[in-house]
Each structure stands twice: as structure tokens, then as C-alpha cells.
Amino acid sequence: MIEGEKLHIKKAKKGNKEAFGLLYDYYLPKIYRYIFLKVSNEQEAEDLTHEVFFSAWRNMRGYKDEGFPFSSWLYRIAKNAVIDSYRTAKNNISLSKTGEDDFKVIDRSGENLDIDFQLEKIKKTIPLLRQDYQDVIIMRFVEDLSHEEIAGSMGKSEGAIRLIQHRALKELKDLYENGNTNGTIIKEV
Amino acid sequence: METQMEQLLKKFNTLEPNRGFKERSRSFILNSPQKGDLPAGAFRQFFNIAQFSAAFGLVAIFIFLILGGLSFINKKLISPSLLSGLDSQNLEKEVKNLDIQIQLSQAQYYEDSAEAVEVALKAASGELDKAENRNQEINKLLDGLTL
């Protein structure tokens, strides 16, 4: 959480651009990563991330603190944006369209090509998981959010999140190692 | 104990959006109005309406003051006959008086005509009496001749 977040939120609700700008700067990479790992396409991820923050800014006056972190609200908007993009199918994500260029921003210092290969494979595996499994995997392991924060953004109890986390991780490993779950074949890179 | 998968997933944390995208998106969003904000032209439109209303109101007040002032001047300073049409009270009085005058003149007319009729009747009855007397005299003369 950003320092003085509640004050920034209060100001942003009143239309203070500077305050919302600080929230934007802090949460943009998190929301971008969340979306990028779900859609596996840089352009699509940028468009949806923009939509999320645009919607957040437009609806900032209506934001109510319900005891969950501000990030929970943003993740909820992001989740709906991704679902909407699937529904409208305006940009169907094709695994074959994503390449290693998507990972050019990752710091590779000290990493060998095997790590790159593994990351690429995981990146392509995550979108094959159920939506709630994807959410928990990204929020918990990529963003390092607490179970409470994840529960807040997904509208579930912390216990349910722990259970989903366990199952999601197991399914991700199965898909990664065997490339097969419920008859789905994962194409090797 | 952290699994290898968890360690790999953590590496995605270094993913960052393109700087150019970030700047463009940020600028666009922060220059957009929030929901519930009045559009940029709304204040100008409101100002124009207020300006027109104020002008209209001032003209109405001005006309009212002119009429009121003229009425006052007419009543107090100038001859009541001049611009008397502007004083509604005077007009009302005139109307009432006019009605009374009409009624009085009608009453006078009825009175005068009644008198005239009375005189005429009296005159007529006098003529009849004279004719009756003549008839009686004629009857007496005829009686004298025949006897």
C-alpha cells in the first residue's frame, strides 16, 4: 500500500489529479502484470490496463472504502475488463502470437536461457487455468498480496482463497510438467 | 517451504509496462473529466442564461419604475388631467362616476317625461270637460227649440 493512501484516495475522489496520479504510478505495474499474465499479449494488456485506470478515474467519486485495500477495487475492475474482453472476443488471444519479445522487460541478469524458457512456458500456461485460479496465482505469487487482500478483491473468504491457491498451484504444476489437464494439450515452445 | 514454481512466479514481478504507454495513458486519463463533473461548456452556458435572465429582470424593473414614477409625478406634481390614463385609481373613479351620472340622467329623464305626460293628461282632461259643457249647452238649446 502506498504511504498516505487514504488521503490520496480522498483527494482523488474530489477530482485531485495529482493524488490520482500517485495512485496510478503505484498501481499501474501491478494491474498491468495481472492483465498481461491473463491475456498473454502486450498490446491487449496495455489497452485493458488503460481501460481499468480510465474507469477507476471516471468512477472515483463513487468509490467507497469497504474495509478492503484500494488495490482490491482496482483488481475487481481489471478482472471485469478481462472477462469483458473475452466475451466480446474483440481480441482473441492466440498463444502462437506471443513470443519471447514479451519478456524483454524482465531483468535477465544472471539468468540463463533455461529460466527464460521456463518463464515463457508458465506465462503460456497461466491463461489455461480457470479464471479464479489465475487470479489467485497472480495476486498471491506474482504480486505477493495477502490472503485478506485477495479475498477482498475476489469477494470470497480467506479460507476459500487458501483452498483455491492450493488447487491452482497444483493444477499449474500439472499443466507445466505434463502439459495436460482435462484433455487440454499445451503446445511446447 | 517455497517451491520452485513459486520462485519462478515471483520473477514475473519485474514485468513493467512500456514507458511510452504509461505516459500517454496517464496524461489522457488525468485530462479526462470524472463522472459527475460538469462539462467544460456548462459553466459558460449557465453564465449566459444567468446573464440573459438578469438583463430581462432589470428591464422589467426599469419599466415598473418608469410607470410607477410617472404615475407618482402625475398624481403629485402635474395636473391630474395630464396623463390621467396612467392612474388606474383615477380611471376607476371616473368609471364609477360615469355610471352614476348615467343613472342620474336617466332618472331625470323619467321624471321630466312623467311631468310632461301629467301636464298633457291634465290638458286633455280639461278639453274633455269643455267639450262636455258645450254638449250640455247644445242639449239645452235644442230642448228649448223643440218645446
Q: Does A97 have pLDDT greater than 90?
A: no
Identify all chain B residues contacting A106, using CB atoms and an 8 Å cutoff: 11-12, 14-15
Would you say A28 and A49 are in contact if contact means Cβ atoms under 8 Å apart?
yes
b/e per residue, A89-122, with b = 16+ CB within 10 A? Answer: eeeebeeeebeeebbeebeeeeeeeeeeebbbbb
Q: What is the mean pLDDT of residues B38-55?
A: 72
- Amino acid present at B110: Y
Identify all chain A residues contacting B28, using CB atoms and an 8 Å cutoff: 50, 54
pLDDT of residue A162: 95
The residue in chain A having the minimum alpha-carbon distance to the alpha carbon of residue B24 is A50
Q: Does A187 have pLDDT greater than 50?
A: no
Q: Does A103 have pLDDT greater than 70?
A: no
**What confidence category does residue A95 fall into, taking pLDDT thresholds of 50, 70 and 90?**
very low
Task: Mark yes or no for CB contact A20/B30 under 8 Å.
Answer: yes
A113 reaches B (C-beta below 8 A): no
The residue in chain B having the minimum alpha-carbon distance to the alpha carbon of residue A175 is B5
Identify all chain A residues contacting B25, using CB atoms and an 8 Å cutoff: 28, 46, 49-50, 53-54
Highest mean pLDDT among A65-74, A111-120, B14-23, B94-103: B14-23
Task: Mark yes or no for CB contact A105/B36 under 8 Å.
Answer: no
The residue among A49 and B77 whose pLDDT is bigger is: A49
Q: Which residue bears the cell 504444476?
A: A173
Q: Does A160 have pLDDT greater than 90?
A: yes
Considering chain A, what is the average pLDDT of its residues?
A: 83
Which grid coordinates belong to A93? 488471444
Contact partners, residue A59, CB within 8 Å, separation at least 6? B34, B35
Percent of chain A past pLDDT 90, that is, above it, reads 53
pLDDT tens per residue, range B97-136: 776 666 777 888 888 888 889 889 988 888 888 888 888 9
pLDDT of residue A111: 52
**What confidence category does residue A188 fall into, taking pLDDT thresholds of 50, 70 and 90?**
very low
The residue in chain B having the minimum alpha-carbon distance to the alpha carbon of residue A54 is B29
Would you say A136 and A160 are in contact if contact means Cβ atoms under 8 Å apart?
no
This model of the complex carries an ipTM of: 0.74
**Beta pairing partners, A180:** A185
